[in-house]
Amino acid sequence: MFTATLLASPASANLDRATVESLRDAWGGGMAHWLNPGIAAEFPLAEVPNNLWQVWEGLQGLGVDLVVQKTEGRRKKMLLADMDSTMIGQECIDELGAKAGFGERIAAITARAMNGELNFEEALIERVGLMKGLATSVIGEVLAERITYTPGGATLIATMKREGGYAALVSGGFTAFTGPVAAHLGFDENRANLLLEEGGRLTGDVARPILGREAKVQALHEISARLGLTADDVIAVGDGANDLGMLGIAGAGVALHAKPSVAAECDIRINHGDLTALLYIQGYAAAEFA
């Protein structure tokens, strides 16, 4: 059996009964169940429809996301999440770069790296090099003044942890940011790159080995093995090219507001919903949220 989940942005709450029931009828699905009126609904299916992606495309124009997945094993036991532009709304390295006076230059490199146009490690080294001499106190300023949290993140983590789940934040960014972000949201652990500093200033380099695409895959395998879980027990979420490895291996790999080149390689694409979408696609109703 499969489950089709339709999702709208909680801000617009524009998912109507007609949209859900007309699709259910067209696909010969079972009874529709509302997880949150106006925001999320689901219905069972005997098989994956042949026109899934054509229907998905049409619903995008209505501001509605559509996910079809196997019903069995939907509820996951571990969350593995990217940080920049996923759990938070910014790219931390771009915000640091803006403070260093190289904002546009660094942001342009970031965009190309996240689209998969540049080697991630080389792009990271180049951007960090531009911040040589920047006072480390600027990191605290960026956290306080420029970082915003993606809606639904704390609820996602609290709900999964209440059900016995585990949450890990794995970023190609920096521990100076993942530490505070993980603590704020309730992650159990975090992994990222270490910015090197000396005398209260950044040296313009990062510790080796650099945590990139393969390190995220390694984290998935290491953490799940340590917890006695398999990759199928994991729901992973990210938006950039360096997330594709873990998104492809996880039982549920979610491209959240992802770059088009990244979303094209994922079966679960959330372009309108927030992080609570990861709960709805696991079958949680809003009344079950922590």
Residue 207 has pLDDT above 90, yes or no: yes
Into which CATH architecture does domain 1-72 fall?
2-Layer Sandwich (3.30)
Question: Does residue 4 register a pLDDT over 90?
Answer: yes
Is residue 82 predicted with pLDDT exceeding 90? yes
pLDDT at 209: 92
Q: CB 58: neighbour CB atoms within 10 A?
A: 13
Chain mean pLDDT for the chain: 95
User: Is residue 282's pLDDT more than 90?
Assistant: yes
Per-residue confidence (pLDDT) for residue 167, from 0 to 100: 98
105 has a pLDDT exceeding 90 = no
Q: Tell me, what's the pLDDT at 113?
A: 80
- Asked if residue 100 has pLDDT above 90, the reply is no
**Does 96 or 232 have the greater pLDDT score?**
232
Structural tokens at position 188: 């159990």
- pLDDT score, position 60: 97
Using CA atoms, how far apart are residues 196 and 214, in angstroms rounded to an integer? Answer: 22
- Asked if 40 and 6 touch (Cβ cutoff 8 Å), the reply is yes
Q: What is the pLDDT of residue 258?
A: 95
Is residue 232 annotated as part of the catalytic site, yes or no? no
Check whether 103 has a pLDDT greater than 90.
Answer: no
Q: How confident is the model at residue 104 (pLDDT cuts 50, 70, 90)?
A: confident
Backbone angles phi, psi at 198, to 5 degrees: -155, 125
**Cβ atoms of 96 and 108 closer than 8 Å:** no
- pLDDT of residue 48 exceeding 90, the answer is yes
pLDDT above 90 for 212: no
Query: Could you read off the pLDDT of 123-142 as tens digits, one per residue?
Result: 889 999 989 999 999 999 99
**DSSP class per residue in 12-46:** T----HHHHHHHHHHHT----EEEETTTEEEEEES
- Candidate list 82, 239, 243, 274, residue with the active-site label: 82
pLDDT above 90 (res 112): no
Q: What is the pLDDT of residue 259?
A: 87
Neighbours of 164 (CB within 10 A): 7
Residue 88 reports pLDDT greater than 90: yes
Alpha carbons 2 and 165: distance in angstroms, whole number: 23
Report d(CA 214, CA 13) in Å as an integer. 37
Question: What is the band of 246 on the pLDDT scale with cuts at 50, 70, 90?
Answer: very high
Given a cut of 90, whether residue 121 has pLDDT beyond it is no
Share of the chain above pLDDT 90, in %: 86
Calculate mean pLDDT across residues 222-248: 97
In the chain, which segments carry CATH 3.30.70.260? Answer: 1-72
**CA 175, 268, 163, 16 torsion-angle sign:** positive
Structure tokens at 52: 């899934």
The catalytically annotated residue of 84, 94, 233, 274 is: 84
Domain 75-90+148-290 sits in CATH 3.40.50.1000: yes
Average pLDDT on 188-202 reads 97
Quick: pLDDT tens for 135-193.
999 999 999 999 999 999 999 999 999 999 999 999 999 999 999 999 999 999 999 99
**Tens of pLDDT along 51-61?**
999 999 999 99
